[in-house]
Amino acid sequence: MHTRRVRTTRARRLRGRLAGGLVVAAAAAAALPAGAQAGTVGDQMLLTYTGITPALVHDAEHGRYLVTAGSDTGGLTARTVARSGPLASRTAFSLDQNVPFFRPDLARNPRADQTLVVHGDGHGLQAQIVAGDGSAPAERRVTLAGTGREPAVAYGSAPNEYLAVWQDTGSDGHADVLARRVSPSGQPLGGTVRLSDRADVLDARLPDVAYRPGSGDYLVAWAGTRADGSTDVFAQRVGADGAERGADDAQVSDHRAIGGSAQNTAPALAADAGTNVVVAFTDGYEIFARRLTGTAATRSAKDERLSTMGLPDDASYRTATPAIAYLPRTGGGRWLVTWSGNDTTSPQGGREAEIFGQEITGALGQVGPDDFTISQRSRPAGVPIDGRALDPAVAADPAAGSFLVAWWADDVVPGDPAYARRVASAG
């Protein structure tokens, strides 16, 4: 679960490589904007020089995080980041280095001490089981679909299996959201199920999925675009058997953007230990959230605005690709919502994107610092920053009471560097 989503098809050239198996954080050369340290712990860390759209999952059994990212130069490598101490990473596993990997996602199965990696490559939509020791046997890699992109995956503890979702273009030229169950051994279970089928929606894209332990089912959300160009977020409950449950393609968002049209897209989901799910999304200008509660996933009264990017109603300030994670806490859990956006504090006179964060309660109340800056874009001393911080991913560590945020940057560092930084829960 995860995070999205800027895709790239242009070729990347690796002009540098990480030394050895260990990378340790170094202090950023540039000073942070005012308030940038609020909520964050220490400096950011360079994970890799080539890492597009990172994916991130917490591995409680080993006291660490697993971080991986896509690459159109070939191959997929995951790195581990310790929950505490010096911010450092080591190689966890590497998959085929001769094919491109686009927009991977991860789900952790603690019962079997393994992780399922789902990704698109030149051979269709693939699923690979990776053991806790980092081994990824070829026989535990399967094809979920001949075509597909933008995958997301969640592990269901009660059924002890995974649900993978993705978008694909049908014979009519329109995109649909599809789903398929995956066994603990990594084998597909049953057939592919089409989830998006509203008559008033032409294209369904950018799905995300979360498992709800309290109801033993999954919740899938996506962005659906109508014939008039308006876009809203829709959701579908999916049972442990892979069948749809409850209301069909229920509308989640209803906010209208600055231009007057609904442009709500890129949903990101995170569930608590019961039946509550918070859905974060963007209208292109600000970040909003909606709460879905109870077995029926009933939506809260209205879309709650979480961000305040730039000046009011100024279309030059934008947001994109939210990500969200849930942290259980005594007295009530917290969700951390992160996104890429530009604010008055951003580089180049507020024009360029940084990664921001906002912590919220289950009632969607904001806590801690407002829209605090997470990313520290890299630059040589004295050289102005020119680029963007993009596509955050976030996961929570209940034992440490903190989060890890990863993202990639299109800036002066060669390639597409991916970074990570810890974020402390407010209070």
pLDDT tens sequence across 79-137:
899 988 888 888 888 876 666 667 899 999 999 999 999 987 666 888 999 999 889 88
Q: For residues 381 and 263, which has the higher predicted lDDT (pLDDT)? A: 263
Tell me the C-alpha distance between 119 and 150, whole Å. 8
Report pLDDT for 414.
Answer: 64
Secondary structure (3-state) at 173: coil
Torsion of CA 308, 418, 47, 107, to 10 degrees: 80
The token pair at 151 is: 């995958």
The two tokens of residue 411 are 């800036």
Q: What is the pLDDT of residue 98?
A: 62
Span of 47-56, 191-200, 331-340, 350-359 with lowest mean pLDDT: 47-56
Tokens for 334?
A: 């917290």
Rg for the chain (alpha carbons), in Å? Answer: 20
Q: What is the pLDDT of residues 147-157, one digit of tens each?
A: 999 999 999 99
CA 358, CA 360: separation in Å to the nearest integer?
Answer: 6
Question: Above pLDDT 90, what percent of the chain?
Answer: 63
> Mean pLDDT score of the chain, rounded to an integer?
85
Reference 76, options 64, 63, 94, 103; nearest CA is 94
Q: Could you identify the residue written with the tokens 């002009």?
A: 15
The pLDDT assigned to 73 comes to: 67
Q: Give 185-239 pLDDT, tens digit per residue.
A: 999 999 999 999 999 999 999 999 999 999 999 999 999 999 999 999 999 999 9
Confidence bin at 416 (pLDDT 50/70/90): confident
Residue type present at position 42: G
pLDDT > 70: percent of the chain: 85
pLDDT at 271 over 60: yes
- Residue 23 pLDDT > 70: no
Q: How many CB atoms lie within 10 A of CB 174?
A: 14
Angstrom distances, CA of residue 364 to CA of 3, 107, 129, 277, 288: 20, 25, 35, 11, 10
174 DSSP β-pair partners: none
| Predicted local distance difference test score (pLDDT) of residue 225 | 98
pLDDT at 122: 61
**What integer pLDDT is reported at residue 103 of this predicted model?**
82
pLDDT at 10: 28
Q: pLDDT-derived band of residue 380, with 50, 70 and 90 as boundaries?
A: low
With the C-alpha atoms ordered 42, 44, 46, 51, is the resulting torsion angle positive or negative? positive
Which structure tokens are listed for 214? 């309290």
Selected residue with higher pLDDT from 372 and 101? 372
Q: Is a pLDDT exceeding 90 seen at residue 176?
A: yes
Say if CB 227 and CB 259 are below 8 A apart.
Answer: no
Give the count of beta carbons closer than 10 Å to the beta carbon of residue 49: 17
Q: What is the pLDDT of residues 43-61, one digit of tens each?
A: 888 888 777 889 999 999 9
Among positive and negative, which fits the CA dihedral 44, 398, 220, 296? negative
- At 238-261, the pLDDT tens digits run 999 999 999 999 999 999 998 899
| Predicted TM-score of the model (pTM) | 0.90
Q: Give dist(CA 144, CA 127) in Å, integer.
A: 7
* Rounded average pLDDT over 61-74: 84
- Contact residues for 5 (Cβ-Cβ < 8 A; gap 6+): 53, 103, 150, 206, 266, 321, 391
Q: Of 89, 19, 77, nearest to 51 (Cα)?
A: 77
- Quickly name the fold that domain 22-424 has: Neuraminidase (2.120.10)
Q: Which of 103, 111, 100 is nearest to 157 (CA)?
A: 111
pLDDT at 11 over 50: no
